[in-house]
Amino acid sequence: MTFTPRIGVYVCHCGINIAATVDVGAVTQWAAGLPGVVVSRDYTYMCSDPGQALIQNDIRELGLNRVVVASCSPRMHEPTFRAAVSAVDLNPYCFEMANIREQCSWVHPAAETTTQKAMHLVGSAVAKAALLQPLEQRQAPTTPAALVIGGGIAGMQAALDIADAGFEVTLVERTSSLGGHVGLLHRTFPTLEPTADLLGAIVERATHHERLRVLTEAEVTAVGGFVGNFDVDIRHGHEEEKVKVGAIIVASGFDVFDARRRPELGYGVYPEVITTPEFEQLSQSEVKINGREPKNVVFIQCVGSRDQALGHPYCSRVCCMVTAKQARLVRERLPNARVTVFYMDVRAFGKGFEEFYDATRQAGVLYRRGNPSELIRRGDRVVVRAEDTLLGEPVEVEADLVILAVGMAPRADTDALAGLLKLARSSDGFFMEAHPKLRPVDTAMAGIFLAGACQGPKDITETIAQARAAAATAMIPLMRGEVTVEAATSVVDEELCAGCGQCASICTFGALTLHPTKGVMVSNAVLCQGCGACATACPSGAINVRHFTFDQVMAQINVVSDFRAPVFSAAPAEAEVASPS
Amino acid sequence: MNTQWFLKTEGDALARVRAFLGALWQSASLRGMIVPVFSGGERAPRVELLTDARRLTQADPFAPLMLANGARDLAERGRAGLQGPLGAVLRPCEIRALAEVARRRSVPLESFLLVGVDCLATFAPEVYERRVREVGSPEELTREALLFARQGGILLYRNRPACQRCGAPLPAAVDLCLGLHGLTAGEAILVTARDEPTCRRLRLESITDGGAPPELIAQHERMAAALAARRGRTRARMEADLGGLPANVDELIAHLRACAPCRACLEACPIYDGELEAADAKVVAAWLASCAGCGMCEQACPSHLALPALIDRIRRDLPGLSGPSNSASVETHSCWL
Amino acid sequence: MLQIEAHPITLQYDLFDCIQCGKCTGGCPMAMKTRLNPRSIILRLLTAGDGFDLEGREELWDCTTCSTCSSRCPKKVNPMETIIGLRGAFVEKGRVHPNVKTALESTFRQGNPLTMPRDQRGAWAKDLGLKEYAEGTEFLYYVGCTPSYDPRAQKVARSLVTLLQKAGIDFGVLGNQENCCGSEVRRLGEQGLFEMMAEENTETYKGLGVKKMLTTSPHCFNVYRNDYPKNGMAVQHYTQVLAGLVEEKRLEFSGKLEKTITYHDPCYLGKHNGIFDEPREVLAAIPGATLVEMDRSRQKSLCCEGGGGRMWLEGTNPSVRLAQMRVKEALEAGAQVLATACPFCLLTLDEAVKHLNAEDRLQVLDIAELAAQAL
């Protein structure tokens, strides 16, 4: 039986996001004339319920067997539309998306050529749609256990939540004790609650939880497998052990910015210059510098934050409040000391933060706007040289204690861990979340989640919130007991494969192996993530990735390369549901 | 009597073929053999006349590289009345060119034992060089190419454009043919002789591993047909991409004259014999009609003009002209014309 | 009125990146003693709308282009270059100090800003029998204007020649053919003349086949390294060359120098080009020498006020001199020798020592002179 594509094309206005720069009507009309297209429509918001209903109706009434939606990035709404077509019994892999928003309307001015580019993109999606094959999504059972990397407040909280829900958890901590950076703090903002009270209970619970195994002085050395079924190698002291888990939470934390990278601030040279974490230690006992109680204390904000020149362009988010807290503590502990804070902007955005900042100033802390340029020595004191930008004058402030509010930096070993887990990093060097707004705790790797400052600077409140979110998300596959395996995987044509093994050497998922007797490669559809690296490496073109086959991709390229309407040389036979072998 | 034989390669086709060529040297009482060979630590094999059979251990007739078409050189030797008999191991496009040169210049080829090899296609010299660096040694690259003989070679687009479009990668009109395509080269390769007297003369029965099993022959033929179809599609696509390049003989003459004083393509052409100097379009057309499709012109061209594709298009429109053309043999893709 | 368009300048120098943190002004050595306020200039340009009046902004000529402001900026804004750009507007309108005019004109006519005759440039080395640079010679020794003409700085050049000869370095000079590098011309805002000179000089060096060059002055070194169009020429400051020779033991000191030495980092060697260690390595190799550091060293080094064309301009507040502050700092550090590696620093610091009547306590010497003394 020959297969005739009956394609429906749906062009979205996305409000004015697309419609303001692309002539949506013209694109729709043009698409209607493409071979295989049965219906072509436009609508304000295709992703809305009425928009989806439009598609579903056409599938039922016009007997569509392939659907193309021209709207935003598939990262945004492909799952939405796949679910919509599935609901009316069209295989989700018979759906194709053309991204005419991020790749067209958002990046070009309103012009004839912009509309033409949208047509290119729609045409190429139609060309591919005609060649799409239905694929079967399979399920794989999951291991009901989780691994948490990092024993700071984020890791402990996430581990406890998952263990409380009834799953086995292994928590791996590199140092000899739990607590991380929070363990080094004296008191917390904005309540000035002693950290020991807050952390002690959590450490206590984590250490004695029956379903939580804490491994200190341990580190992950290898990670294999996939969501639901990870195989993790852990080095624990001198022992190596292997654990099987269904989900992994990364809570590896941050490094404190090394203030010596701004040598003009004299950290490491002048004993009077310390960092905010060092002040936390100092403030737990007598506050003395050079054996004397300091009389003039200066705080300097934004050391290693908002600093493009040193590759730390981001705001570290906590330093403003840390400074306010520590300035308050200085006023409490040393009522006779003058306290000056040099700042650029005070960012007191959290609940109760602005009030805390108010209270700090009311306690007699002087805030001066200007970021000090350098510290020099004058006699037995250091002099902070800055410009008070509100006075518009250079100023020199003598001090016997200078506290640098150092920012948070990505851990030096982030790269190594990223390599183990195949995680991406954002431009600031921290681990990258799957979507900054919609998927803040997920990573691009299914089954691996982020918690705490390894994803970006955070205070304790935010860290706890993210840890609990990561725990809740990680438990979804664990509780369901099975995961859907990607169907767009690689497949080896045994006729063309010579068994040279080049594909296996570049596959990062270990999905390709040599068949023991046939002398050809075999792709494991469960391990394969469909990245396609093998397909490009294969010397004889023996490997195709389902849903991105050579023919499908070439059909798309042919359309976009010289903007011709898609050509169907021969109608492809409707395959049975191709099941991953 | 059977004309198709086979060699058991036992994992090393290159070594087996070297040994076979040595045996052939003996059985045909050759005085020398012209074959691509590695000499003096060079990274690329060059076609040389060997007079010592022991040097066959460095011969490599399968290397995926073609620096020049050996036909003209061979014809010169033939015309010089070199003391034969000599063996010559050549690629299909070299054999086609050789036949044409011999015909046009009346070169006697009788004193040659022509051995043709199935061509696994070749890389551009710079690609070859890079790949040799990647895999470690030129011999390793040849072995990698042989690994893909069963598939009819590696993905087309990685090869020289002329190879991508070549519909006749199996040699024709030779005394002996070494067949690879469709076969697992690590296990066996085919040896096909011109006729039964040749088999007897060369004592093939004793220097091969016996008569070829029918399934080997069938696999070889199937792959030949598949290759012709595959490359036919590539040829069509390349032609579609020619766009505004010269489309008839007069335009091409004008174009090539305008290219002067480069002449690199003409110097690389194994068949060219001053035709462009003649003012007659018919003479030029006859030259174009006999193109062997080796693509040396394109490889030599500093602006990589798609000359073989161009010539193919023009030649198709030439009335009443035929020669040992590349496309003519596509239809037959049999070992013998 | 000296009206200029502010908006194009804000775009050219990425001034919208500025967050007004004041690090530039806070570290600016001239902000301590004059009206110069880089942050405020940036804000004024940003808020000026279409027109910006340079009239009365004499403090723009106070800038010594020491680059402290630019090196401190967390947003990679370059206030120093902005100031040089604004000077360009003065120059274009011909509204410059007569000294600046003279220096520019002398550079144009005589190939040096010192109003010295071109044909006397090579005279300092008449008795040294130096080889004229020809293709194939390893190094071109680019002497520079001040070391060629100034009697005090000539000693540096002569010392350096002694050292290079001792180490067996193959080098040549251009003699009277040598032309000003244009560094100060550029920093005085005369970009057009600078570009012309850069082109001309590049042609000369290309024609001579110069591959490696060494300079006496960090200013010349910097301009060849950072401001000239890329030309395949490897330029080194002489302290880098000496440090290399010391490390390879091709230059060894047999003499002794029982002195306490402190090193003043020239702005154009240190802050501009990050060369802090090599000069110290040379000093450390001198037998008997004790090195002490001033509080303001390396990235914090205090400018001597000799750069950015300030050799020809007194500035708006000549009563306070940074060079004198620097000399006091050296004395506080307990030094007997104030070492530097820049002809401008040498001259300004020398003058400050005289002014403070400290000649008996502190000697200002170039590293090349110290090293030559220790041979």
Residue A308, min C-alpha distance to chain C (Å): 5
* B147:A496 CB<8 A: no
CA distance A167 to A152: 20
CA dihedral B282, B288, B289, B294 (to 10 degrees): 170
Residue A557, min C-alpha distance to chain B (Å): 14
Six-digit token pair at B232? 């036919």
Q: Is the pLDDT of residue A495 over 80?
A: yes
pLDDT for B180 = 94
Residue B29 CB neighbours (<10 A): 9
Q: In what order do the strands lie in the sheet with A95-99?
A: A37-43, A7-12, A66-71, A95-99
Residue C358, min C-alpha distance to chain A (Å): 22
What are the backbone dihedrals phi and psi of residue A231, each rounded to the nearest 5 degrees, phi first?
-110, 120
For the segment A133-139, the average pLDDT, to the nearest whole number, is 90
* Structure-token match 């108010």, residue found: A358
Q: Which of A204-218, A279-293, A555-569 has the lowest mean pLDDT?
A: A555-569
List, for residues A111-124, the tens digit of each pLDDT value: 889 999 999 999 99
pLDDT for B319 = 64
CA distances from A2 to A5, A95, B161, C254 (A): 10, 20, 35, 96
List, for residues C304-354, the tens digit of each pLDDT value: 999 999 999 999 999 999 999 999 999 999 999 999 999 999 999 999 999
* C23:A385 CB<8 A: no
The predicted model scores a pTM of: 0.71
* B151:A540 CB<8 A: yes
* C22:A307 CB<8 A: no
For the segment A502-521, the average pLDDT, to the nearest whole number, is 89
Task: Flag whether residue B155 sits within 8 Å of chain A, measured between CB atoms.
Answer: yes
Task: Tell which of A272, A307, A387, A404 to mutate to test the C interface (max C CBs under 10 Å).
Answer: A387
Six-digit token pair at A421? 């887990």
Which residues lie below 8 Å from residue A431, measured CB to CB, with a gap of 6+?
A250, A414, A418, A423, A424, A425, A443, A450, A454, A455
* A539:B158 CB<8 A: yes
Residue A370 CB neighbours (<10 A): 26
Residue B190, min C-alpha distance to chain A (Å): 19
Six-digit token pair at A242? 């292997």
CA distance A68 to A128: 9
Q: Is the pLDDT of residue A570 over 70?
A: no
pLDDT for B329 = 36
Partner chains of C (3+ C-beta pairs under 8 Å) = A
Sign of CA dihedral A520, A524, A525, A530: negative
* B150:A500 CB<8 A: no
Query: How would you classify the pairing of strands A490-492 and A543-545?
Result: antiparallel
Q: Is the pLDDT of residue A565 over 70?
A: no
What are the backbone dihedrals phi and psi of residue C32, each rounded to the nearest 5 degrees, phi first?
-65, -30
CA distances from A206 to A170, A234, A242, A454, A464 (A): 11, 19, 21, 20, 15
What are the backbone dihedrals phi and psi of residue C6, each rounded to the nearest 5 degrees, phi first?
-80, -35
Task: Flag whether residue B151 sits within 8 Å of chain A, measured between CB atoms.
Answer: yes
Give the percent of chain A with pLDDT over 90. Answer: 80
Task: Flag whether residue A554 sits within 8 Å of chain B, measured between CB atoms.
Answer: no
Chain A hits for B154, CB-CB cut-off 8 Å, are 539-541
Helix (H) or strand (E) run with residue C326 in it: helix C322-332
* A500:B144 CB<8 A: yes
Q: Identify the band that residue A529 occupies on the pLDDT scale cut at 50, 70 and 90.
A: confident
Contact between residue B326 and residue B337 where contact means Cβ atoms under 8 Å apart: no
Written as tens digits, the pLDDT of chain C (375 aa) is 888 989 999 999 999 999 999 999 999 999 999 999 999 999 999 999 778 999 989 999 999 999 999 999 999 999 999 999 999 999 998 899 999 999 999 999 999 999 999 999 999 999 999 999 999 999 999 999 999 999 999 999 999 999 999 999 999 999 999 999 999 999 999 999 999 999 999 999 999 999 999 999 999 999 999 999 988 899 999 999 999 999 999 999 998 999 999 999 999 999 999 999 999 999 999 999 999 999 999 999 999 999 999 999 999 999 999 999 999 999 999 999 999 999 999 999 999 999 999 999 999 999 999 999 999
Chain A hits for C294, CB-CB cut-off 8 Å, are none
Q: Is the pLDDT of residue B336 over 50?
A: no
Task: Flag whether residue B153 sits within 8 Å of chain A, measured between CB atoms.
Answer: yes
Minimal-distance CA residue of chain C relative to A311 = C74
Minimal-distance CA residue of chain A relative to C31 = A394
Task: Flag whether residue C20 sits within 8 Å of chain A, measured between CB atoms.
Answer: yes
Task: Tell which of A257, A264, A306 to mutate to test the C interface (max C CBs under 10 Å).
Answer: A264
Query: How would you classify the pairing of strands A66-71 and A138-141?
Result: unpaired
* B151:A498 CB<8 A: yes
CA distance A530 to A533: 8
* A394:C19 CB<8 A: no
Q: What part of A 494-533 touches B (C-beta under 8 Å)?
A: 495-500
* Structure-token match 């033939």, residue found: B78
* A497:B151 CB<8 A: yes
List, for residues A248-297, the tens digit of each pLDDT value: 999 999 999 999 999 999 999 999 999 999 999 999 888 888 888 999 99
Contact between residue C62 and residue C30 where contact means Cβ atoms under 8 Å apart: yes
Residue B35, min C-alpha distance to chain A (Å): 27
Q: What part of A 213-272 touches C (C-beta under 8 Å)?
A: 263-264
Contact between residue C29 and residue C70 where contact means Cβ atoms under 8 Å apart: no
pLDDT for B320 = 54
CA distance A138 to A133: 16
Q: Is the pLDDT of residue A147 over 60?
A: yes
CA dihedral B248, B251, B256, B259 (to 10 degrees): -140
Residue C5 CB neighbours (<10 A): 13
